[in-house]
Amino acid sequence: MSETETDPNDTAQKVKDTTVVGADQDENGCLASAGYTWSKVNKECVKIFTGIQLNPTNDQANEDMVLSAYVLFNENGDQAEVFLPNEESVVLTKTSEDKTWSYKDYQLVGQNGYVLKKGTEVLFKGDGIIGSKVTGSDQEEGQ
């Protein structure tokens, strides 16, 4: 990473304050009660469950949305943001042309869908089917 690039995983970086006063808006102006979360790679409020759903490998039959991880890609696909249950999202960067994104111990591999590993342990996997991306307007893009 060059000196001019910023690390999207650095939570110490300050986001420009565009917050509008509201009952349940987060620091980025996303309405949590409407299911919106700030995306570091897309730099907008998104509904994470419209991304690629990855289910925990210790219980693949359980498709409980609360236990699943979700993946959203930036526009050109070189960054993948993984929203983990009960944790901060992690931004992974594409490392090669073979559908692999990584950050520290995390690795997202595109193989018959997607597999998320931490070290050698497979944590989540899914079929790779992506939902419709919904933006702050509540309209699916392209409509």
| CA atoms within 13 Å, Cβ hemisphere of 92 | 28
Query: Where does the pLDDT of residue 115 fall: very low under 50, low under 70, confident under 90, or very high at 90 and above?
Result: very high
Return mean pLDDT, the chain: 80
pLDDT tens across 91-103, in order?
Answer: 999 987 788 999 9
| CA atoms within 13 Å, Cβ hemisphere of 1 | 12
**The pLDDT of residue 59 is above 50:** yes
**The pLDDT of residue 54 is above 50:** yes
| Other Cβ atoms closer than 10 A to 32 | 12
Task: Quote the CA–CA distance of 81 and 51 in Å, as a whole number.
Answer: 10
Query: Which residue is listed with tokens 């570091």?
Result: 40
Pairwise pLDDT comparison (89 vs 10), residue with the higher score: 89
User: Domains in the chain, start-ordered, CATH in brackets?
Assistant: 50-126 (2.40.128)
**The pLDDT of residue 16 is above 80:** no
The model's pTM is 0.71
Degrees to nearest 5, angle at CA 75 with 5 and 50: 120
